[in-house]
Amino acid sequence: MRERIKLVSVQDETIVFEKPRKSIINNVFLLNEKKNKVDIEIISQIDNLILKNPVENLEEGINYFLWINNHQKASEESLLTGMNGISIEGDTNAIVFRKHSGDLFPSNSEHILEGDMPTQIVDFEENNSSLNIFNQILTKMNVKSFFAVNEETEEKKEFPFSFAEDTVSIDLSESLPRGHWQLKVLYTFNSLYLIDTIVEGDPAHYNKSSFIGYIGKHGENHQGIYFKGNRLVISSLLVEDFFKEIPVDEREDILVDQVIVHDTAKRGIELHIVDEQFLLSKLKEIIFVSRKRKKRVRITTVKLMNGNIFVPLTSETLQEVSNNRWDLEGWFVNGKQSRAGRLQVVRATNKKLTYLNFSTDDYTTMVYTTMNNYIAILKSSGSFIFKERYKIKTKMLNIVKKDKDGFSMTVQVKKVGNVTIKNILLKLRSHDTIKMIETGDTEVKHIQNHSYSAHGSFSMDWGKKFFPLYWDIFITVVDEEGNEERIKVTDATSKLKKQVNKDYFKNAIYTKDKILYPYVTLKNDIAFMMRDREYYENKKNKLKEKLAYVIYLAMKPFYYRNKDIWLGFEKFSATAQDNGYAFFQYVDKNKLHDNFYFILDKHSSDYEEVRKQSNKVVPFMSFKYLLLIYASNLLVSSENKRHVYNLRIKSGIVPKKIASKQSVFLQHGVTALKQSNVFKKAKGRGNFSLVIATSELEEEIINQNWKYELNEIAVTGFSRWDKLFDKSQDRKHKKIFVMPTWRTWMEDMPKEDFKRTDYYDNYINFLNSKDLEVTLKKHDLQLVFFLHPKFKQYISEFKLDSEHISLKEFQNIKVNEEIMEASLMISDYSSVTWDMFFMKKPVLFYQFDYEKYERYEGSYIDMATQLFGERALNKQELIQLVQEYAENGFQLKPRYEKLHGEYFKYVDHNNSQRIFDVIKNLK
């Protein structure tokens, strides 16, 4: 740390400092940035250190740093002072001498004492583009300069100024480079030079932005001056940014007395504004303001037409206008005034009026007036606007099984206007695939006033119509103009919802391996579930569930009353390889909790092995399993709690009991690469009592996005990581493990459709690549390809002919063993990549469908900057990266080694113990 000394005074012939300590001063000199030395004569060092003014030996405009006894010195306080051609600047880093001519001006604002200059009178003269300000401290004698500093680049620009009586006038007509500029003043106070920022001095306006004036257009930039918070700022910006930044000085409705509709190639609305100031103003805009998010979109192509304002409504104009309701706002800048307000039509009635209604391939737009005659725009799907226009309301009245191979449905429809109800239909809920099942016998009856009932039925052709998973109920309607829309049925009677929720199996139609039934959605509507039928979905097991419940109720008062029963399980209760089993195994082996059981399907390939390890493993769907389901207090799993029974079923005794239990979410993988709404608190499959996390980064993601409180999240690390050890060095042949994740938009699609996806195309071409085969042969590598369990039915479609590549199926693979043995992992967005990275082994991310993934799923981290491995967007890039890692012995690169410490809080094998400790404190 540099020793600090205090400057006492600067005279014509001498410069005086307080003498440092009691030491003897041997030498004093100045050193410039080029290390050129200028010696200074010491006149006295008895009381103070008095030096001869070195100005004659200095070159003009060059900074010289003060050294005493061969040590560079710093200043005790920030200062800028000078006299007769020399200035001295000081701060806690250095003391700088500089020779200059003319007015003193700082070379570095860090070397100077800065403050604020409160100004209570600020007046803008638009014709001269000048600013008049008043402050008693500022006089003609002490002001040296007015200048602006760019907030980003710190570039400085000086302005001409003059005094008239007590007011200083600053000329702002000069063009400024793009950016925000803070206005400052340089003035003297005694022997010091000070720089102050001009700030708001009126207490009534503290911390309030206010518009001062529009300076004008310079090139492409528009310049204006305003108080931003308390500071006086000059903005020089492109017009779109200018209107985002400047404050509105006055807000008042802008009246329109005529609206002319253009429904041609030049589609839009022509507005006659009552206030002439708007039309005559120097700068005027029409802004779309989102009613939901308050986002503001400036319409760039607004223009004058016949003395009116024309607002175009083309696809290009509305590109940034998302599906939403938008209010139209006018905004004009005129000299000293910045005025904005909603556009309001002058009419004798407040009745809602539609001006324009048009559709494109992607959306429909309606321009209308609200009940208060404000002009608004609704951009949305055609069906939503159709409902809005004709005030259509729907309610599901009844659903009945028809001859055990179909359903009949009755829908109540309320509508206004000449709209015909064509039919009822089921529509597949999918982003990419359009599938519909229509009723061909729809009958419509008028009930009363604007209310109608529609009744129709369909029979299920399983061979042609089967397509999982979710099917929503719609009605097809047609207006008198021939416009046809499908309107989703979004309500149901309480009686019907109660019937549907009581027993899904009783309401279902099914074959030996397929099933279809109605269910109540998260939004409290009725939809249909179409899926493969599980082997245990039969009348015998339904009867067993009821019988087990009766016995549980009988045993509850004396047998189960004091038992604290925990149930552990994993995906579909069909595996014992993840965090669920790792945690159970730790607790069971260490005898930490007597009544902890693990649920596992007898058909699982893991069953026989884990059954030998513990007598607490209970067969899925056994009678004991059902009793434990009813009696258990806590569910502990790497999946959501419905995996202990059936993920797809929410109705019936068992699902209702499961929903009411406390649960600990051990997680299947680190939450970062994929956004998920289903685990949010108070929504979907969430509502966990405790969520396990691996780092503060993940804890923040869960807190911010899933809305769990910090005391509901525990940063412990994963149980399965306790069992992870790098086994790659023990292998004769290095292994590459390829494990892509699933896609929500492809879930359960037929094989023929799956083979037409870019997912299948990219992976089959990668695996069959000749270049990949050359690399595998050259380096004697083995590649294991494993499809996600939700895509297990498609494994047969991957026909490969390579002795270096093997395909492995769900339940015939131990994923943790594959990861431990692998030298390189290839995935896309799978959270299992974190297991590989935990062991400091490299990961490649194959993200050929990244744009679609971001649109449909999204991630919590930035894929471009925060991943812990390279990204490949096509087959060639991926193979090149595989070759690169094979050449360098599969070593983790330094930049990813550095990330490891940020992404893992614990790198030990005590995660299960930490989890157990937090669960025991769970009440």
- pLDDT of 80 higher than 80: no
Q: What is the pLDDT of residue 109?
A: 47
pLDDT at residue 685, as a whole number: 56
For residue 795, give the 3-state DSSP assignment: helix
pLDDT at 111 over 50: no
CB 95 within 8 A of CB 66: yes
Tens of pLDDT along 694-744?
999 899 999 988 889 999 999 999 999 999 999 998 888 999 999 998 887
Tell me the angle at which helices 770-778 and 875-887 cross, rounded to the nearest 10 degrees.
10
Query: Of 665, 664, 666, 673, whose CA–CA distance to 718 is shortest?
Result: 666
Confidence tier at 683 by pLDDT (50, 70, 90): low
Contact status, residue 268 vs residue 313, Cβ threshold 8 Å: yes
CB 105 within 8 Å of CB 70: no
Return left, alpha or beta for 682; rule: phi > 0 is left, psi -120 to 50 is alpha, else beta. Answer: left
Distance CA 764, CA 755 (A): 10
What is the C-alpha separation between 226 and 57, in angstroms, rounded?
Answer: 46
Lowest mean pLDDT among 452-456, 796-800, 817-821: 796-800
Strands, E, within 76-166: which ranges? 79-83, 86-90, 95-99, 114-119, 121-125, 130-134, 143-150, 156-159, 161-164
Query: What integer pLDDT is reported at residue 12 of this predicted model?
Result: 79
Does position 451 have pLDDT exceeding 50, yes or no? yes
How many other β-carbons are positioned within 10 Å of the β-carbon of residue 64?
A: 24
Inform me whether the pLDDT recorded for 835 exceeds 50: yes
- Which of 757, 746, 750, 841 has its CA nearest to residue 788? 746
Q: Which two three-digit tokens encode residue 264?
A: 């041609």
* CA torsion through residues 233, 238, 241, 242, sign: positive
Tokens 């000749």 belong to 770
Say which residue, 334 or 671, is predicted with more confidence.
Answer: 671
Residue in the structure block whose two tokens are 């082994």: 841
CA distance 785 to 805: 7
C-alpha–C-alpha distance, residues 292 and 378, integer Å? 12
Question: CA 265, CA 641: separation in Å to the nearest integer?
Answer: 56
Q: Cα(837)–Cα(904) distance, rounded to whole angstroms?
A: 10
More confident residue, 886 or 244: 886
* Cα distances (angstroms) measured from residue 829 to each of 669, 694, 712, 847, 850: 11, 18, 26, 8, 9
Distances in Å between the alpha carbon of 447 and those of 392, 453, 475? 15, 7, 17
Q: H or E segment at 763? A: helix 758-767
Mean per-residue pLDDT over the chain, rounded: 88
Q: Kindly report which listed range (129-133, 599-603, 834-838) carries the lowest average pLDDT score.
A: 129-133
> Model confidence over 305-348: pLDDT tens digits?
777 888 888 888 888 888 888 898 888 888 888 888 898 899 87
Using the predicted structure, report yes or no on whether residue 102 has a pLDDT greater than 70.
Answer: no
**Candidate from 202-211, 306-315, 868-877 with smallest mean pLDDT:** 202-211
Query: Which letter, b or e, does each residue of 260-274 get, where b requires 16 or more Cβ atoms within 10 Å of its Cβ?
Result: eebeeeebbbbbbbe
Sort residue 851 into left (φ over 0), alpha (ψ -120 to 50) or beta: alpha
Torsion over CA: 640, 635, 574, 531 (sign): negative
CA distance 691 to 689: 7
pLDDT band at 473 (very low <50, low <70, confident <90, very high): very high
Beta carbons of 600 and 617 less than 8 angstroms apart: yes
- CA–CA separation, 133 and 139 (whole Å): 11
Q: What does the pLDDT average to over 56-60? A: 90
pLDDT of 167-180, one tens digit each? 888 888 888 999 99
Q: What proportion of the chain, given as a percentage, has pLDDT over 90?
A: 44
Q: Which of 769, 900, 765 is nearest to 842 (CA)?
A: 900
Has residue 387 got a pLDDT over 70? Answer: yes
Residue type, 335: G
Q: How far apart are CA 493 and CA 394, in angstroms?
A: 11
Phi, psi of 540 (to 5 degrees): -60, -45
Per-residue model confidence (pLDDT) at position 113: 61
Cα 800-606-544 angle, rounded to 5 deg: 120
pLDDT band at 388 (very low <50, low <70, confident <90, very high): confident
**How many residues are present in the chain?**
923
Contact 299, 287 (CB under 8 A): yes
Q: Report which residue type is found at 453.
A: S
What residues pair up with 408 in beta bridges, in sequence order? 400, 457
CB atoms within 10 A of CB 432: 13
What residues contact 348, with CB distance under 8 A and at least 6 apart?
none
**Angle between helix 579-589 and 911-920 (nearest 10):** 80
Say how far apart CA 71 and CA 653 lie, in whole Å: 83
Q: Give the span between the Cα atoms of 823 and 819, in whole angstroms.
A: 8
3-state secondary structure 514-572: EEEEEEECCCCCEEEEEEECCCCCCHHHHHHHHHHHHHHHHHHHHHHCCCCCEEEECHH
Query: pLDDT tens for residues 128-173?
Result: 778 888 777 787 777 878 888 888 888 888 888 888 877 888 888 8
What angle do helix axes 875-887 and 758-767 make, rounded to 10 degrees?
A: 40
Q: In what order do the strands lie in the sheet with 167-171?
A: 121-125, 130-134, 167-171, 161-164
- Confidence (pTM): 0.61
Cα–Cα–Cα angle for 326, 332, 338, nearest 5°? 105
Q: Does the structure show a pLDDT above 50 at 827? A: yes
